[in-house]
Chains A and B, each alone.
Chain A
Amino acid sequence: MAIIEEPLAIGAGDDVPETVERPLGDLTRPQISHTWKDWLTTVDHKKIGIMYGAAALFFFAIGGAEALLIRLQLATPNGTLLSPDVYNQVFTMHGVTMIFLVAMPMAAAFANYLLPLQIGARDVAFPRLNALSFWVFLFGGLFLNSAWLFGGGADGGWFNYAPNSTVTFSPSNGIDFYALGLQITGIASLVSAINLITTVLNMRPKGMSMFRMPIFTWMNLVVQFLLLFAVPVISVALFLLTFDRVFDANFFNTEAGADPLLWQHLFWIFGHPEVYILILPSFGIVSEVIPVFSRKPIFGYSFMVFSGVAIGFMGWGVWAHHMFVSGIGPISVAAFSLSTMFIAVPTGVKILNWLATIWGGRLRFTTAMLFAVGVVSMFTIGGLSGVTHSIAPADTQQTDTYYIVAHFHYVIFGGTLLGFFAGFYFWWPKMFGYMLNERVGKWNFWLQIVGFNLTFGPMHILGLQGMSRRIDTYDKGFGFELWNLVATVGAFIIALGIGIFFVNIAISRRQWKAAGKPNPGPDPWDARSLEWMTASPTPEHNFDDEIVVEGLDEFWHRKYGYDEDHNVVRIASAEEVAQDGSNTNVHLPSPSYFPIVLALGFPIIAYGIIYSLWLCIPGVALLVYGMVGWIFENPDDPNAGHDHHDDDHDGDAPDALEAGDEPAELVAAGTTVETEA
Chain B
Amino acid sequence: MANATVAVDAHDDHGHHETNTGISNNKLAMWLFLASDCLLFGALISTFLLYRTNISDNTPFTSPSDVFDIPFTSLSSFVLLMSSLTMVLALSAVNRDDQRAGRIWLLTTALLGMVFIGGQVYEFTVFNAEGLGYTTNTWTSAFFTLTGFHGVHVSVGILLLLGTVFGTRNSGLGKEKSETVELVGLYWHFVDIVWVIIFTVIYLIPIG
Contacts and interface: CB of A to CB of B under 8 A. Distances in A.
A190 B40 CA distance: 12
Contacts of A253: 138
Contact of A202 (B23, B30, B179): B23
Contact of B35 (A228, A248, A262): A228
Of listed A194, A204, A554, A562, residue having the most chain B CB within 10 A: A194
Contact of A648 (B24, B28, B35): B24
B207 interface: no
Contacts of B184: 3
Contact of B6 (A207, A231, A251, A647): A207
Contacts of A250: 135-138, 140-141
Nearest to A673: B18
A233 B142 CA distance: 15
Interface string A36-70: 00000000000000000000000000000000000
B40 A236 contact: yes
B116 to A, nearest CB: 21
B25 A236 contact: no
Contact of B172 (A11, A197, A257, A266): A11
Interface stretch (B78-86, B119-127, B160-168, B191-199): B160-168
Given A233-B39, A670-B18, A256 B137 contact: yes
B167 A9 contact: yes
B44 interface: yes
A125 interface: yes
B137 A229 contact: no
A313 to B, nearest CB: 15
Contacts of A310: none
A670 B8 CA distance: 12
A198 interface: yes
B36 A229 contact: yes
A671 B19 contact: yes
Given A6-B26, A8-B163, A648-B16, A257 B54 contact: yes
A6 B30 CA distance: 12
Interface in B1-47: 1-3, 6-9, 11, 16-21, 23-30, 32-33, 35-37, 39-40, 42-44, 47
* Among A229, A249, A651, residue most surrounded by chain B Cβ atoms (within 10 Å): A249
Interface of B is mostly: helix
Given A2-B33, A232-B39, A202 B6 contact: no
A207 B2 contact: no
Main secondary structure of the interface of A (DSSP, over half): helix
A26 interface: no
A3 B180 contact: yes
A236 B39 CA distance: 9
A126 interface: yes
Nearest to B29: A2
Contacts of A15: 171
B50 interface: yes
B69 interface: no
B16 A194 contact: no
Contacts of A258: 51, 138
B3 A550 contact: yes
A247 interface: yes
B29 A232 contact: no
Given A8-B168, A256-B137, A198 B6 contact: no
Interface residues of B, number: 61
Contacts of B141: 243, 249-251
A513 interface: no
Interface in B51-101: 51, 54, 57-58
A296 interface: no
B35 A206 contact: no
Contacts of B47: 236, 240, 251, 262, 266
Given A9-B170, A233-B39, A256-B138, A550 B29 contact: no
Contacts of B134: 247-249
B31 to A, nearest CB: 9
Nearest to A8: B167
B183 interface: yes
Interface in A549-581: 549-551, 554, 557-558, 562
Interface of A: 1-3, 5-6, 8-12, 15, 125-126, 190, 193-195, 197-198, 201-204, 206-207, 209, 228-233, 235-237, 239-240, 243, 247-251, 253, 256-259, 262, 266, 269, 548-551, 554, 557-558, 562, 631-632, 647-649, 651-652, 670-671
Interface of B: 1-3, 6-9, 11, 16-21, 23-30, 32-33, 35-37, 39-40, 42-44, 47, 50-51, 54, 57-58, 134-138, 140-142, 145, 160, 163-164, 167-168, 170-172, 176, 179-180, 183-184, 187
14 contacts: A125-B25, A126-B25, A194-B33, A201-B28, A202-B28, A203-B20, A209-B9, A231-B36, A232-B43, A251-B141, A256-B58, A262-B47, A548-B6, A647-B25
